[in-house]
Amino acid sequence: MRILFAPGWRGGAERARPWVEAFGRAGFEAEALVLPFAAEPAAALFAEAAGPADVVAGVSFGGRVASLAAARTPLRAAVCFAYPLRNQGLSLIHI
């Protein structure tokens, strides 16, 4: 199984390396994707790179992009670490 991983906002491939290496040690084929810093274009590239047998994963902004990619194309799974679930301008009281 291949895992395509996106780092957080402006994370780049260097920040993704510990994640990719950890997935590799766990027996997965993994690679980092370097994506633009805008969610919609990044999601389109993520979805284009992934196939139906792939897992898309990401941390923070990368998790957001992984979820958008999963909504666009059939995938094996989406894994989102530290995914921003709410609008940063709202407190939980207002949700």
Task: Using pLDDT thresholds of 50, 70 and 90, give the confidence band for residue 87.
Answer: low
Residue-wise pLDDT for 38-69, tens only, equals 889 999 999 999 999 999 999 989 999 999 99
Its pTM stands at: 0.82
Enter the tokens of residue 45. Answer: 């590239």
CB 55 within 8 A of CB 29: no
Task: Point out which residues pair with 31 in neighbouring strands.
Answer: 4
* Residue 5, pLDDT score: 95
Residue-wise pLDDT for 10-34, tens only, equals 777 788 899 999 999 999 999 999 8
The beta strand positions in the chain, using DSSP E, are: 2-6, 29-32, 55-59, 77-81
Strands 29-32 and 55-59, bridge-based pairing: unpaired
